[in-house]
Amino acid sequence: MVRKLIVCVIGVVFMAGCSGGDGSSTARGGDSGSTITQTGQYNGLTTPALFTVTNAKALSSDAYTTNRVVATATGVGKITTISGATPCLLQGITSTLKERVTSTLLRSSSSNKIVALTIKDTITGMSGSITYQTELDQTTGNFTGKITFTEYQDTASSATITGTTDFTGNLNTATSIFTSLNMQMNSLLGILGGTSFTLNGTISFSGGKLNVVSIASVVLTNNSTGNAYWFKDYAFTYSGNMVTISGTYYDPSEGYVVVTTITPLTAASADAIPLSGELLFTGTNKTAVRLTFTDSGQTVEVDTAGNSIFTIVP
């Protein structure tokens, strides 16, 4: 993932859950290895993945950073060594979306105290622009709106984004504290490293500082290959400098893995590269991968026998 992407992804997170509406899903064949359809975007294996020495690095990397998912066919983004840790794509997505919406609402609501407030704003990035249109009821604090990206790039390392995101939520205008923020990505088109990808799904934020990012259901499609990847019920929590992650990642050809946090990750920001902490990825037959972060990179260990004995993947 790149810093300050659009999610997150996210965040998303970025990641990242929600049931019903665009978070709904229907399965055909259960665990028989047939396919599942989610919001008309994901169509791949529903069986749990089997971790092996061969797929341990790639599958765990996809479930966390999503970098390989959007990588080109030449292999950009694949983890080949224990160094070079990268932050999570969905966390960056959710971070940028949240910051752009909340900063506009706070600035506008503090300067104009009429009950019904229509907020319109255009923000330029390193390239391109973002345009908002928001309706805020300053009595209830409820708001609805739409954010439109026009070839927007936040930083030199960010994706270029085009498309719209609808959002709703609540802002306590007396304390300037958000109590909720919900976003729906409508086929956001991203270009990163020369590769095109599309994001569909819902992201919700909660917590006193909107530091809990719950990704209802985000499907990321690599437009070059046509492969779709589903991040289901992902949750990112960032408090202080600690990050926890949980959720289920669906790979169209490998199946799904369950992601949990063994030790919270330490990071300077919600979308920064982790300096410490451990994540666990669990597949079928109790096979698992343990991903450990340090300030010099990351280490991947795999348990292919399901006996809780992990060996480092070279």
DSSP result, 157-218: TSPEEEEEEEEEEEEETTTTEEEEEEEEEEEEEEEETTEEEEEEEEEEEESTTS-EEEEEEE
H/E segment holding residue 119: strand 116-124
Structural tokens at position 177: 């504290």
Residue 198 lies in a domain: yes
**86 within some domain:** yes
User: pTM score, two decimals?
Assistant: 0.75
114's CB contacts (< 8 A; 6+ apart) are 138
Residues contacting residue 198 through CB under 8 Å, at least 6 positions apart: 187, 188, 189, 190, 220, 221, 223
Evaluate whether residue 265 is within a structural domain. Answer: yes
Output the pLDDT for position 309.
97
* 139 φ, ψ (degrees, to nearest 5): -80, -50
pLDDT, one tens digit for every residue, the chain (314 residues): 222 222 333 232 222 222 223 333 333 333 444 444 454 578 899 899 999 999 999 999 888 765 544 432 222 222 223 233 344 455 555 666 677 677 767 665 554 444 456 777 787 888 999 888 888 887 888 989 898 989 988 778 777 889 998 989 888 878 888 888 888 988 889 887 788 888 888 888 877 666 677 776 888 888 888 888 898 988 888 788 888 889 999 999 999 999 999 999 998 876 677 899 999 999 999 999 999 999 888 899 999 999 999 999 98
- The answer to the question of residue 212 being in a domain is yes
Determine the Cα angle at 207 with ends 256 and 141, to 5°: 120
- Assigned token pair, 66: 């999503």
Residue 38 belongs to a domain: no
Q: What is the pLDDT of residue 260?
A: 96
The domain of 218 spans 43-111+191-312
Length of the chain: 314
Residue type, 173: T
Per the domain annotation, does 107 fall within a domain?
yes
**Residue 273 belongs to some domain of the structure:** yes
If one counts the domains in the chain, the total is 1
Residue 8 lies in a domain: no
